[in-house]
Amino acid sequence: MVLTNNKNVLSWVDEMVSLVTPDRVVWIDGSEEQLDALRAEAVANGEIIKLNQEKLPGCYYHRTALNDVARVENRTFICTPTKEEAGPTNNWMAPSEAYAMASDIFRGSMKGRTMYVIPFSMGAIGSPFAKVGIELTDSIYVVLNMNIMTRIGKAVLDMLGDSNDFVRGLHSKCEMDEEKRYILQFPQDNTIWSCNSGYGGNVLLGKKCFALRIASYQGWKQGWMAEHMLILGIEKPDGDITYIAGAFPSACGKTNLAMLIPPQHYLDKGYKVWCVGDDIAWLRINEDGGLSAVNPEAGFFGVAPGTNDNSNPNALASTRKDTIFTNVVYNPEDGTVWWEGLDKNPPKNAFDWKGNPWNPASGEKGAHPNSRFTSPAINCPCISEKWEDPAGVPLSAIVFGGRRAKTAPLVYQSRDWQHGVFVGSIMASETTAAAAGAVGVVRRDPMAMLPFCGYNMGDYWAHWLDMGKKLTNPPLIFNVNWFRLNENGKFIWPGFGDNFRVLEWILKRCEGKVDAVETAIGYLPKAEDIDLEDLDYTIEGDQKFNLETLKEILTVERDYWLEDAKGIKELYAKFGNHLPKELADELNKLEENLNNMN
């Protein structure tokens, strides 16, 4: 049944139907009845496996194609009329060329299949932050995941009314041909086309494609911001809650930080961390001249390996019901799932992510390193009361971070907003042994948006600077680095829940309750001001973490920073006249400060 009279929607759906020629078109109304029927159909055709409904109620298991396990950055394009609009860090294709090329791939791709029309809202329905999208797809897996990650169904079309302001998403699995896999964003047309993939990051079009790439462009044009940020609230013993957003490149523990449990002595005093979101934040200027943030998503699309009762009990608890697991180990004996790092008891007669019988003693990984869980946010034991608040939460601080073995200290604060934008723009992460390729290679990832910015990143920085000029009450900007290594390659800082000790310092800075030391790179804490109470961490052998160790990771290493400045210069040089002068000035100032250090 067609669910709307909106002519803009209907004519676009018709146009796409004549391109991909499905046998049937089904409008997703969002009812449990319809979703249940789709689950049953997907179980019957083998797309998903129903898990043990006593142990994991409402949970299902899915395997992607073997060649389709991650986002494909080299096949992701920003399609703007000129290459300059996409900028030097994006792949670019002219819209006419992209539409023509992809039309050939999409033509007839849904023959013999059903097309599902999924109306979805990013942001709570009715929130002034909320934006509507419609995804057309030939995958039930996509429908079921979109149901967890976004708000879907008839209510979304009711909110849209007759408006033409919606993002048009077209997805088809096509033949799963890697050579014809494309993720195309057309920011000026509010359009996304994705073909030949079934992997979440490429096909759940509300997430990276809309809520970051298209939305970052919309934010630039409309005076708001779409960022690759977690949002958390820190509750103090007096009940007061302070909100912080944090941008980290993929694989730096964003979901863990978003759901962190503070060390015991803080819990005893009454501190708590509440999760508002783990991946994306939309930011708008509020009545107080500050920035408020909403999480536009409704679920978590988290990496499974490494998630366990110690590293992130809140994430694990979120996966215990109504969750879709993708590419983890499947245990048919009791209908459960497993992944590396879950516990020390891998199942004996299970199947790996490829669907082959798996012997845990073989040394082969059972779950793909990028295997995932899709879980409703509402399942999270520490979900914030305000996670769906239409007005969002006011931010006191923005935290940037990366994985740096030597260069960045544990934490430092920018001098002001402009310097903070510089700090975000120079973000970088070093590759780890876990990823393919050379170890320790620095990948610059400004604001953690390198793969997600829908326009020229130089213009994006200018937008950040402009937003700062409009803020009378801006959040303070910090940088953290949990990943400093000692000379033996061991992590110096304990990380995980102990990161709360750094958040507490940030909180005190926001409240003006602690002073700091001005250095060449910004304000650093005095080591005594980071709480080490009950910290029991042994780096290796008998080297216990103590105040002296803390001092080691609160220093500015001039030579490393001077080396880093060269990398920043190389990055900046790519932007030509799109580089804001303020950032060039900040880089000069950094170099000058470093050269003046004694």
CA-closest candidate to residue 417, choices 393, 445, 397, 394: 397
Identify the DSSP state of 126: T
CA-closest candidate to residue 174, choices 98, 114, 110: 110
Residue linked to tokens 């497993």: 338
Task: Fill in the amino acid letter for 118.
Answer: I
Q: Cβ of residue 153: shortest distance to Mn ion, in angstroms?
A: 25
DSSP tally for the chain: helices H, then strands E: 17, 33
Cβ(51)–Cβ(335) under 8 Å? yes
Cβ(198)–Cβ(139) under 8 Å? yes
| Torsion, Cα of 7, 130, 371, 442 (10° steps) | 120
CA distances from 552 to 414, 499, 521 (A): 20, 17, 16
Identify the DSSP state of 358: E
Residue 428, strand partner residues: 444
What whole-number distance in Å separates Cα of residue 164 and Cα of residue 10?
A: 11
Return the number of the residue (255 or 499) whose C-beta is nearest ligand OXD.
255
Residue linked to tokens 């060269």: 566
What whole-number distance in Å separates Cα of residue 339 and Cα of residue 367?
A: 5
Q: Among the options 174, 195, 209, 252, which is catalytic? A: 252
Q: Applying CB under 5 A, what is the total number of residues that bind Mn ion?
A: 1
Determine how many CB atoms are found less than 10 A away from the CB of residue 565.
16
Tokens of 142: 């996509």
What whole-number distance in Å separates Cα of residue 357 and Cα of residue 348?
A: 10
What whole-number distance in Å separates Cα of residue 431 and Cα of residue 428?
A: 10
Site for Mn ion in 261-290 (CB under 5 A): 279
Give the 3-state secondary structure of residue 222: helix
End-to-end CA distance of the chain: 74
Identify the DSSP state of 379: G
Residue 500, class by beta-carbon neighbours within 10 Å (0-12 exposed, 13-18 middle, 19+ buried)? buried
201 touches which of ligand OXD, Mn ion, none (CB within 5 to 8 A by kind)?
ligand OXD
Residue linked to tokens 């494609």: 209
CA distances from 112 to 13, 47, 299 (A): 18, 16, 31
Tokens of 428: 């970088």
According to the binding rule CB under 5 A, does residue 138 interact with Mn ion?
A: no
Identify the DSSP state of 214: I
Concerning whether 252 is annotated as a catalytic residue, the answer is yes
Q: Count Cα neighbours of 116 within 13 Å in the Cβ-side half-sphere.
A: 26
φ and ψ at residue 89, rounded to 5 degrees: -100, 0
Residue 596, class by beta-carbon neighbours within 10 Å (0-12 exposed, 13-18 middle, 19+ buried)? exposed
* Contacting positions for ligand OXD (CB under 6 A): 71, 201, 250, 279
Identify the DSSP state of 210: I
Task: Fill in the amino acid letter for 287.
Answer: E
Identify the DSSP state of 478: E
Q: Where do contacts with Mn ion occur on this chain (CB under 5 A)? A: 279
List residues with catalytic annotation: 252
